[in-house]
Amino acid sequence: MTGALPSTAPGRSGGPLAGLLVADFSRILAGPYATMLLADLGADVVKVEGPGGDDTRTWQPPVRDGVATYYLGVNRNKRSMALDLKDPGDAALAQELARRADVVVENFKPGGLARFGLGYDTVARTNPGVVYASISGFGSGAGGAALPGYDLIVQAISGFMSLTGDTDGEPYRAGVALFDVMAGLHATIGVLSALNHRHATGEGQHIEVNLLSSALSGLVNQTSAFVAGGVVPFRMGNSHPSLFPYEPLPCADGDLIVTAGNDGQFRRLVEVLGVPELADDPRFGRNEDRTANRDELRPLLVDRLRTRPKLDWFRDIIAAGVPCGPINTIDQGVAFAQEVGLDPVVTVGEGAAAVPSIRNPITFSATAPQYRLPPPRLDQHGQELRRWLAEGTPDG
């Protein structure tokens, strides 16, 4: 491709995807999360926004320096260009960007970009090697194309909410847009796979990802219980349908998540708790027995755990090689990641424009993610990008 911005352009750096140009016509979460991951790995991402900007710019509070932290969380390492696709001149610039791009990412309603000359078939005629990723709520088929694709709707329709909450209580949503994030990850996997195919064959292709399919795939054992076993799962609060213990258990000063994923871990757990005989009890020796007899086992474990504070138990149970952990707030979770050496926070940009951000979760031995550009202001790079698209000689 000839589309990549030149090495003299501000913010360009190395990385495994250096030299790739991504035209990002997505907004809100699933698409922007995917393109941010690509940008972290070195791709040049041009974020095309409507005149009003990405919706998440206004999703506040909370804010940092007047900008919604929601927007800041998924838009680093990008350049912003505001285009009104209903304007023929702006549409022509968008078409030229798509012609030069290695990757196009969009999450309009299926077919929504076609009326601006930006659908896959049109783009591929002038850019046959393009990897074009479309993210929707329910796919491009006749039954799903017109349905709105918000994460909360998919949490409800997929069955996820039927699994979340107290057994006798109301269904609950997750505390984050779980399937938007998951669809963004699936889109990223699809893009990277298609780029590898293009490297081998020279052929581009159209990738489609939808939130409902991502949700059903991401529900893993729960959807498998139905399609493979004919069992419809139900809400169990914080309990696990196939493991015990695998839930919060009360200590002297609050709950501790205690898990025993196999029989060996359970034996080590009860040794730490001072009741080693439970591992030899025929009701509890095997996982399937513990799961079937959880109502008898739970009070025996709780009797021991209630004798000490949760962090004391946490220290001793972890030392025995049994997974467990306190239920933290977000700030405590970030602090814990710091304590164990994960360095979760990076600063993107310099001076007054610097923005703290959560580190890309992938560690490479040779091509580390890089944090070159803070999330852009609306149309921050519009002038230089318009010049580049119009003349082919950007002002670096």
Sheet of 254-259: strand order equals: 246-251, 254-259, 324-326
Please list the active-site residues.
180
Q: Encoding tokens for residue 241?
A: 């349908």
Cα–Cα distance, 211 to 219 (Å, whole number) = 12
Cα–Cα distance, 223 to 46 (Å, whole number) = 37
Decide: residue 163, CB within 10 A, 0-12 exposed, 13-18 middle, 19+ buried: middle
Cα–Cα distance, 327 to 141 (Å, whole number) = 42
Q: Encoding tokens for residue 103?
A: 């990757």
Cα-trace Rg, the chain:
25
Cα–Cα distance, 53 to 369 (Å, whole number) = 27
Residues 6 or more apart whose Cβ sits within 8 Å of residue 291: 241, 242, 243, 244
Residues 6 or more apart whose Cβ sits within 8 Å of residue 289: 282, 283
- φ/ψ region of 346 (left if φ > 0, alpha if ψ in -120 to 50, else beta) reads beta
Residues 6 or more apart whose Cβ sits within 8 Å of residue 182: 211, 214, 215, 217, 218
Asked if residue 61 has a cis previous peptide bond (ω within 30° of 0), the answer is: yes
Cα–Cα distance, 9 to 229 (Å, whole number) = 56
Full DSSP string of 13-76: --STTTT-EEEEE--SSHHHHHHHHHHHTT-EEEEEE-TT--GGGG--SSEETTEEHHHHTT-T
